[in-house]
Structure 1
Amino acid sequence: MIKRISIVGCGWLGMPLAKSLLGQGYHVLGSKRHNEELAELSAAGIEAYRLELNPQLDSDNIDALLNSDLLIINIPPGRKTNTAEFHIAQISNLLAAAKRQGLKKVLFVSSTSVYGPMQGVVDESSPRLPETTSGKALKQIEDELINDAYFDASILRFSGLVGGQRKPGRFLSGKTVSGPSSPINIIHRSDCIKIISQIIKRDCWGETFNASADLHPTKQTFYQLAAEQLGLAAPNFVDGTASNKVIANNKLKASLNFQFTYPDPMAWLQDNIEEAE
């Protein structure tokens, strides 16, 4: 039974996730890169530890941080250290430390970027053909986890992330954008947190899930309204190569009996929900 949860990466998603899990009665341990950031975790009731992956582990007490029943890895590939090898080494070193601590259960937060530019309906059985550096790194890390019999791991592939300070109206404002009729694949942070909570409650390990909202409005429809709502310049849409990529969430909903809080990205925008940063 899971009682203690370690979250490596307490940022935009990890921090509200940690608070949510605390509210559900779990003991939560979390990491930040710098000592001056730890007070925020401690103030929220999170057992706080400094951890930086350089890519070697730089921490005052990695064994204490990983003294738990579940490790949630929520560290996206960095922009400054933009090599697949660096991020792969970061996570490999973290997983080696988890093994030394006897920690078997892992939830790895990945991305639908592992599928690359694949078209049509994309589900968990679709081939992963990433083209970006981050997508290639995530694919290799997924493979490492899946192929290592020691770990009891699940992989969660999020599509485009919105909510909090990630306001989609800012993403493309004033830019020239092709493919106005392309469907978008996004998910709200609140649903990300609910999905992770459900995986833990249902003890759902050894699985891979795509996570994207039910509906897929066109790029032009969504981002034009998103920019307008923030009083920003709308993107300039031009004809060009359009995508018809749609991330399917059927497995997630069936396996976890999950219903999205924000199944319709347009409804979320139209409701103009005020959210904490």
Structure 2
Amino acid sequence: MIKRISIVGCGWLGLPLAKSLIKDGYSVNGSKRELHELAKLQAQGIKAYQLELNPQVESNDIAGLLNCDLLIINIPPGRKTNTAEFHIAQINALLRAAEQQTVKKILFISSTSVYGSQQGVVDELSERLAETTSGRALKQIEDQIFSHSAFQATVLRFSGLVGGQRKPGRFLSGKTVSGPLSPINIIHRSDCIGLITQLIKRDQWGEDFNASASEHPSKQAFYQLAAEQLTLPPPHFVEGASSNKVISNQKIKTTLGYQFNYPDPMQWLQANIQEAE
């Protein structure tokens, strides 16, 4: 039974996730890169530890951080030129430390970018044809985690992230954008947290899940309304290469029995919900 959870990466997703898990009765460890940032975590009831992956593990107490029943790895690739190699080395160093501390269960937060630009309905049986540097790094890390005999692991791939300070009206404002009728694949932060929580409660390991809202409005309809709500210049849409890529969330709904808070991104926008950042 999972009682103690460690979250590596307490930022946009990790911090509100930690707060939510604590409310649900879990004991939560969390990491930040800088020592002076630990007080922010401690104020929320999180047992805070400094962790830097350079790519080797540098921490004020790695044994304390990894004293857990479940390790959630939530650190995306950086934007340096050596992103793929560096990020893979980072995660490998963390996995070695986790093995030394006898961590048994891992949840790795990945991205649907591992599928590249393939078209049509994309589900967990689709081939991962990553095209970007970060996508290729994530694909390799997924494979390494699943093949690691020391851990029971699950991979959760999120599509485009929105919520909090990630306001989609800012993403394309004033830009010239092609493919106005292309469907979008996004997920709200509250559903990211809900899905992780449901996965933990169901004790669902050895699986991979793709996570996106159920509805996929057109790029033009969504981003025009998003910009209008922030009183920003809307994108300028032109005809051009379109996509019909749709990330299916059917496995998550069937296996985890999860009901989305925001299944339709347009309804979320239209509700114009004021969110804490």
TM-score, normalisation: structure 2: 0.99
Q: 1:173 aligns to what SS in structure 2? A: coil
Distance in 1 (CA, whole Å) between partners of 2:79 and 2:44 is 28
Distance in 1 (CA, whole Å) between partners of 2:143 and 2:106 is 13
1:152 positional shift: 0.1
Distance in 2 (CA, whole Å) between partners of 1:76 and 1:83 is 10
**How do 1:176-187 and structure 2 match up within 5 A?**
176-187=176-187
The number of residue pairs the alignment matches comes to: 277
Sequence identity percentage: 73
**How do 1:141-160 and structure 2 match up within 5 A?**
141-160=141-160
| Pair 1:47-2:42 in alignment | no
Distance in 2 (CA, whole Å) between partners of 1:151 and 1:29 is 19
Q: 1:40 aligns to what SS in structure 2? A: helix
1:178 positional shift: 0.6
Q: 1:214 aligns to what SS in structure 2? A: coil
Counterpart residue identity of residue 186, structure 1: I
1:82 positional shift: 4.5
Q: 1:153 aligns to what SS in structure 2? A: strand
Corresponding position of 1:138: 138
Q: 1:19 aligns to what SS in structure 2? A: helix
Q: 2:71 aligns to what SS in structure 1? A: strand
1:83 positional shift: 2.0
Corresponding position of 1:216: 216
| Pair 1:262-2:270 in alignment | no
CA deviation map 1:73-112 (0-9, x unaligned): 0001011364200000000100110000000100000000
Deviates more, 1:142-151 or 1:178-187: 142-151
Distance in 1 (CA, whole Å) between partners of 2:30 and 2:74 is 11
Distance in 1 (CA, whole Å) between partners of 2:53 and 2:239 is 42
Counterpart residue identity of residue 95, structure 2: L
Distance in 1 (CA, whole Å) between partners of 2:236 and 2:220 is 9
TM-score, normalisation: structure 1: 0.99
CA deviation map 1:124-182 (0-9, x unaligned): 00000111111000000000011112210000000000000000000000111110100
Counterpart residue identity of residue 85, structure 1: E
Structure 1: which 5+ residue stretches go unaligned? none
**How do 1:20-59 and structure 2 match up within 5 A?**
20-59=20-59
| Pair 1:98-2:98 in alignment | yes
Q: 2:124 aligns to what SS in structure 1? A: coil
Counterpart residue identity of residue 31, structure 1: S
CA deviation map 1:171-223 (0-9, x unaligned): 00011111010000000000000000000000000010000000000000000
The 1:212–1:179 alpha-carbon spacing in structure 2 relative to 1, beyond 3 Å, is same
Structure 2: which 5+ residue stretches go unaligned? none
**How do 1:186-205 and structure 2 match up within 5 A?**
186-205=186-205
Counterpart residue identity of residue 113, structure 1: S
Distance in 2 (CA, whole Å) between partners of 1:144 and 1:83 is 17
1:59 positional shift: 0.5
